Structure 1
Amino acid sequence: MTITQLKYVLSVAEYQNFTVAAEHSFVTQPTLSMQIQKLEDELSVQIFNRSKKPIELTEVGKKIVEQAKVIVDESNRILDIVHQQKGYIGGEFRLGIIPTIMPTLLPMFLNNFTKKYPKVKLIIEELTTEEITRKLTDGHIDAAIAATPLENEAIKERPLYYEPFVGLVPQNHRLFNNKNISSNELEMEDILLLEDGHCFKDSVINLCRTHKLDNKKGFQLESGSFDTLIKLSKEGLGMTLLPYLHTLDLNENDKKHLREFTSPPPAREVSLIYHKSQLKMQLIEVLKKTIDGVVRGAISFSDVKIISPLQKN
């Protein structure tokens, strides 16, 4: 039994196809199939039911895959130990960031990080929270930046900052003349929301969870862009809520439509998250330190009410 064989098993378990698994493992399909067959012969069990389309794990195969994940993680930890002992900060580091955070946070720290740690190959993906959770569990990314808490026992969360929500209110809206707004004044039917899959949408709904989501606008919107929401709001089609950092780049005319919440304002907790296996901790630490250094000057809110991104029933 070898680590390579176990990695091939994990790849087939994920993609449910020998050819696709081989492509992602950078080997030929016959090589991958032969190594898995050798492992099955050695163990005298069948890990995969090849008669199924797509390929399925057998019952014993499911248990083998779970243990294989542990073994592969622990083998990766050996290289981590060597890097930490040598004080080496380098190598590939895969980072996921949710779409409502990436446009504002990434430009704040990326240049600083790459200049300070030139030996790190930072691979960044824009992913939904659901995709991040899955990829962290499967070991396809090393860490992520997302809205928390996620209440996932397999994931560790380290808060980076607390970002208040800010209202963007068009001139024809009932709340436009208010100096500040409060959550109990929000009516779901006149708030423009992001499309499903964005945790910021879920947080807004949770903020207004005493109000029924009933579309009376005469149109249905599915947008992943705050810029689209801002433009529609300016056309008088409803108010919207924005994360604080997203408001900093608005022009002076648009800023006249911003309304802060009464204290304590609703906010989202933004955290650096990673799997509990704690691989590549030296890179996670320097990434958090870099972000802490640049964010501190831009956002310093502490007296806030955290709104969970998890949907409430």
Structure 2
Amino acid sequence: MTITQLQYVLAVAEHKNFTLAAEKCFVTQPTLSMQIQKVEEELGVLIFDRSKKPIQLTDIGQKIVTQAKNIVNESTRIKDIVDQQKGFVGGEFRIGIIPTIMPTLLPMFLNNFIKKYPKVKLVIEELNTEEIITRLKNGHLDAAIAATPLQEEKLKEIVLYYEPFVAYIPEGHAVAQKKELEISDLNIDEILLLQDGHCFRDGILNLCKRSDLNENGHFTIASGSFETLIKLADEGLGTTLLPYLHTLDLKESDKKKLHHFEDPKPSREVSLVFPKTELKIHIIEALRSTIAGVIKGAIVFQNVEIISPLPKK
């Protein structure tokens, strides 16, 4: 059997459909089906149960797919070894970034990175944490930047920085005159939150040790935009929490409404996340060093308490 045949097997296992798998592999459906049948004939077993819709793996097929992933990954590693030996940092690199990090961190390092490593073609996607984990495991991302720890056995994390939560308190609020806040000053039922699926939202709920919200008020809102939450807070409709880097670009008049927390400051841990196979590790290291070079002047907090980004179960 060949690496290409194993890639076809993995595509069908992922998409559970021969036609869709063929499209993703840029071959015709008869070609893909024939190659997979050759693998099954060579092994003397059925990898897929074609009688079910969608197509399912057989019991032995599950084991074959697990091993096929290892073989395909290891075959890719050969090129990595050669590239590292030559000192070559280039090729396509697919990276996912969560929405609450993308708009602040990406402009800080992207220009530096592409100037320093012009042969790397970055393919950048804004994805939520759940999508990132799935794509990293399926081999559709090489790395990601997300809030951690994620507690995923097959993924590795390298911490980039710690980013404090900062409260945005409108004028006239009961705690608006306090220089530094305590967690007990927060009222979760008046905090304007990002919509479900954002780990920053889950971090706030974990910070306040709550997993539910009071829905008996005059309105509930879950926005995907910090700007919307800030405007609503200015209208006296609540308070909100922001990641520290997001506060750097606020207007001076809005910065006066920011309130830091007492030490240790509740913070999120932001990391580079990638599969433990460490494919393209030379590009991952180039990315890490570039981000470290630009972030150290912008964020230097050390006395922090890491708040989990994982939703409570």
Does the pair score TM above 0.5? yes
Contact 1:189 1:216 in 2 (8 A): no
Matching residue of 1:180: 180
Q: How far is the alpha carbon of 1:217 from its aligned partner?
A: 3.3
Contact 1:188 1:211 in 2 (8 A): no
Q: CA RMSD in A?
A: 1.2
Matching residue of 1:30: 30
Matching residue of 1:283: 283
- Structure 1 residues not aligned, in runs of 5+: none
For residues 17-56 of structure 1, the aligned pairs below 5 Å read: 17-56=17-56
Q: How far is the alpha carbon of 1:235 from its aligned partner?
A: 1.0
Provide Cα deviations, 1:199-224, integer angstroms capped at 9, x if missing partner: 11111000000686213432121211
Separation (CA, whole Å) in 2 of partners of 1:218 and 1:24: 48
Contact 2:211 2:312 in 1 (8 A): no
The one-letter code matched in structure 2 to 1:231 is K
Matching residue of 2:107: 107
Provide Cα deviations, 1:97-153, integer angstroms capped at 9, x if missing partner: 000000000000000101111100000011111111111111110000000111111
Q: Is 1:274 equivalent to 2:274 in the alignment?
A: yes
Separation (CA, whole Å) in 2 of partners of 1:210 and 1:14: 36
Separation (CA, whole Å) in 2 of partners of 1:145 and 1:242: 18
Provide Cα deviations, 1:218-260, integer angstroms capped at 9, x if missing partner: 2121211111111111111100000000000000111111111
Matching residue of 1:218: 218
Matching residue of 1:258: 258
Deviates more, 1:210-219 or 1:238-247: 210-219
Matching residue of 1:90: 90
Separation (CA, whole Å) in 1 of partners of 2:251 and 2:24: 45
Runs of 4+ in 1 over 6 A off after TM superposition: none
Structure-2 change in CA distance of 1:140 and 1:179 (3 Å): same
Q: How far is the alpha carbon of 1:8 from its aligned partner?
A: 0.4
Q: Is 1:146 equivalent to 2:150 in the alignment?
A: no
Over the matched positions of the two proteins, sequence identity in percent amounts to 65
Matching residue of 1:126: 126
Report the secondary structure of 1:93's partner residue.
Answer: strand
What is the TM-score of this pair, normalised by structure 1? 0.97
Matching residue of 2:117: 117
Q: How far is the alpha carbon of 1:187 from its aligned partner?
A: 1.3
What is the TM-score of this pair, normalised by structure 2? 0.97
Structure-2 change in CA distance of 1:212 and 1:69 (3 Å): closer
Matching residue of 2:59: 59
Contact 2:267 2:305 in 1 (8 A): yes
The one-letter code matched in structure 2 to 1:242 is L
For residues 221-232 of structure 1, the aligned pairs below 5 Å read: 221-232=221-232
Report the secondary structure of 2:223's partner residue.
Answer: coil
Separation (CA, whole Å) in 2 of partners of 1:308 and 1:26: 41
Report the secondary structure of 1:146's partner residue.
Answer: strand
Deviates more, 1:230-239 or 1:97-106: 230-239
Structure-2 change in CA distance of 1:212 and 1:15 (3 Å): closer
How many residues matched?
313
Matching residue of 1:199: 199
Structure-2 change in CA distance of 1:94 and 1:129 (3 Å): same
Q: Is 1:236 equivalent to 2:236 in the alignment?
A: yes
Q: How far is the alpha carbon of 1:13 from its aligned partner?
A: 0.7
Separation (CA, whole Å) in 2 of partners of 1:8 and 1:276: 23
The one-letter code matched in structure 2 to 1:198 is H
Contact 1:104 1:246 in 2 (8 A): yes
